[in-house]
Amino acid sequence: MRKEILDVLERNSRIDLGELAKMLGQTEVAVANEVAEMEKEHIICGYHTLIDWEKAGAEKVNALIEVTVTPQRGMGFDKIAERIYKFDEVDSVYLMSGGFDLMVMIEETTMKAVANFVMQKLSALESVRGCATHFVLKKYKDHGAVLVEDAVDERMSITP
């Protein structure tokens, strides 16, 4: 039952527990208890609201920062990742395979604010050997939700 609950909640965290219980053929109490237990065990780590800030009229700048680091003896990448994720500006940190070590995602109000974070905080860390910052120009799909409307074909149709 856990996997089924998680699958549904990942797509719609606001689903009514009664409706979820009906979908799964369970009682509402059983589903509520299972959700509470998964929250307690930190399997469910939080609930996220996806907002299209552009449509809301707010200017936001999203940046993905590739970070190359020197792993620390006995702790590998964990200690430097912890130092990075504790910065208030940081939304996500991932250990990566490939040409860099960590992917850091941040959201700020301006490109200058992103640059200041990278220069003053991130690149200043002793273990950080290099950073490459990429700015998101447009979001088409985020967390499974399509953020763009279907394009309308405005060409005139020609009939024989």
Q: Is the pLDDT of residue 154 over 70?
A: no
What distances in angstroms separate CA 68 from CA 20, 121, 122, one per listed residue? Answer: 43, 15, 11
Q: What is the topology classification, in CATH, of domain 61-142? A: Alpha-Beta Plaits (3.30.70)
Label residue 87 by pLDDT band (50, 70, 90).
Answer: very high
- Domain map of the chain by residue range? 2-40, 61-142
> Contact at 8 Å (CB) between 132 and 66?
yes
Is the pLDDT score of 60 beyond 70? yes
69 or 57, greater pLDDT: 69
User: How far apart, in whole angstroms, are the C-alpha atoms of residue 62 and residue 49?
Assistant: 16
